Chain A
């Protein structure tokens, strides 16, 4: 006992104690639910069997049922559109802004930091603001688009099935651009300046310098940022809840919202768990890419 105590205060035991408690906490509250999710996706779960662990196993029935539903494939396609368009928008706008602020004038870093307010705001608030901006008859975005002559009539962003997914995408691009920009700025500032001086002496113009120095030097950061963007986009839930609720008629529904909707609106917990399992596999793949691309950093 005494040896144990002194090890806790002064030796290996101190480290093990510090690490094992949080790890145990995380495994109980994240690891166990993860496994439980997989178990539930093979079970029949309804309101009556919700309270017991021993529910009838149904094998792959939930998965078969899920893919037999007519809305499954459109929702998966929506998810792909949402993810690709959001990441592309966030990354391109973010990269453009990062390059602009990289020119390093007085006040640049302060102003650049200010952009990040979009990222620290609660998602529900961002959703509420965009819901109002995008509203059909009185929305300010429609007004601006009309005045500049880009559209003839009002677009009913939230209720038109052709546009409702894009309404959420616009909001999500706005939300994520600043985060992309900040991380890209960090990557840009790590490029040694003398590379540019040397290429300038060799007569390379701005365009050539961008393609032969900036992009290749940024490859690792870009990989990490896109993987991170994928992870964040697949986590995006609040904007759907605040802007379209997946409607109209699933036109803007994506898997991460659908999984919640099935569990907590339709009380079909088994289906909710099934979709969660499928999507978590995707997220895991993205995170492996992310971990690999930041590996040299992780290992120090």
Chain B
């Protein structure tokens, strides 16, 4: 067997594997455009006979999705800005030095990274209600998400800073730059790509966050899309095409960003988690 045939065979097998693995996504999109009766047909159709394109507009209007997505965006952007502003500096210092204090700091951060949100939400909710933060529910959720996701961000960005050669910064210092100047003019631009990838990853997480929003935001007008999807799915629902349309509208931007930046996201992710 020549190398070319072998490669082609393997590629075909890989496509089939990916097809099987990604079938749930296909099923979401295909269910979306099925009509009510076709959806419950036995045997199910794997290609819609009568695609219903207007369903996207109907669900967007009917479920008031604009508001939900807007809230998701507000929460995700807020959390990402808090994390980026605080986390970048922290990651920089943790990457630059190697001593016992840095080790302790890293250990603390890794420990805080693993606390499950659904277990931490009880004390956070009670504490926030005592200091009155629950009167600003979206801000409360932003702070909670920031605390939850910042350790992960610091670990990822620290890996980026580690790959910036320290000699460049030292050269800038010798040339008379201050530490602040060297940080903003030399180190930060060099680490820009890695930081951007980490920001995107954190954004996607925050955009889909559920536990904190569900627990702390009572007012429907302030709830993000994940909570909206949850309340759309009642226990005995049969509007699956509408629910899948909701899910598709919600998830497609994330999938688009991911597919476009796939290579960078994957390499950024792996460099932080273990290498």
Contact = CB atoms under 8 A, between A and B. Distances in A.
Interface of A: 9-11, 14-15, 17-19, 21-23, 25-26, 29-34, 36-37, 40, 45, 50-53, 97, 100-101, 103, 105-111, 113-118, 120-126, 128-133, 135, 137-138, 140, 143, 147, 174, 177-178, 182-183, 186-187, 221, 224-225, 228, 231, 234-235, 237-238, 241-242, 245, 256-257, 259-260, 263-264, 269, 272-273, 275-276, 279-280, 283-284, 286-287, 290-291, 294, 297-300
B151 A257 contact: no
B208 interface: yes
Contact of B114 (A17, A106, A174, A286): A286
Contacts of A280: 115-116, 119
A183 B274 contact: yes
B17 A40 contact: no
B118 A237 contact: yes
Contacts of B31: 132
The contact size tier of chain B is 35 or more
Contacts of A237: 116-118, 210-211
Contacts of B225: 122
A289 to B, nearest CB: 11
Interface of B: 6-7, 10-11, 13-15, 17-18, 21-22, 24-25, 27-28, 31, 39-40, 42-44, 86-87, 89-90, 92-94, 96-98, 103, 105-127, 129-130, 143-144, 146-148, 150-151, 154, 162, 178-180, 183, 201, 204, 207-211, 214-215, 225-226, 229-230, 233, 235, 240, 243-244, 246-247, 250-251, 254-255, 258-259, 262-263, 265-266, 269-270, 273-275
Nearest to B13: A100
Nearest to A32: B127
B147 to A, nearest CB: 4
Nearest to B31: A132
A120 B258 contact: yes
B10 A103 contact: yes
17 contacts: A15-B93, A21-B90, A26-B151, A105-B7, A113-B266, A114-B262, A115-B22, A120-B204, A121-B208, A124-B229, A129-B244, A177-B21, A183-B274, A260-B211, A279-B119, A287-B110, A297-B274
Contact of B18 (A10, A111, A221): A111
Contact of B250 (A23, A45, A113, A125): A125
B105 A238 contact: no
A284 B121 CA distance: 17
Contacts of B13: 100
Contact of A10 (B21, B179, B226): B179
B113 to A, nearest CB: 8
Given A113-B266, A183-B270, A124 B21 contact: no
B96 A15 contact: yes
Contacts of A115: 18, 21-22
Nearest to B109: A26
A134 B90 CA distance: 44
Given A50-B126, A50-B129, A231-B114, A25 B244 contact: no
A14 B180 contact: yes
A138 B208 contact: no
B179 A11 contact: yes
Contacts of A110: 262-263
B230 A259 contact: no
B122 to A, nearest CB: 4
Nearest to B144: A29
Contacts of B96: 15
A10 B14 contact: no
A117 B226 CA distance: 17
Contacts of A241: 210, 214, 230
Contact of B210 (A15, A36, A131, A238): A238
Nearest to B237: A131
Nearest to B120: A33
A114 B14 CA distance: 11
A128 B119 contact: no
A18 B262 contact: no
Contacts of B109: 26
A22 B89 contact: yes
Given A26-B147, A186-B270, A224-B274, A40 B122 contact: yes
B247 A143 contact: no
B71 to A, nearest CB: 14
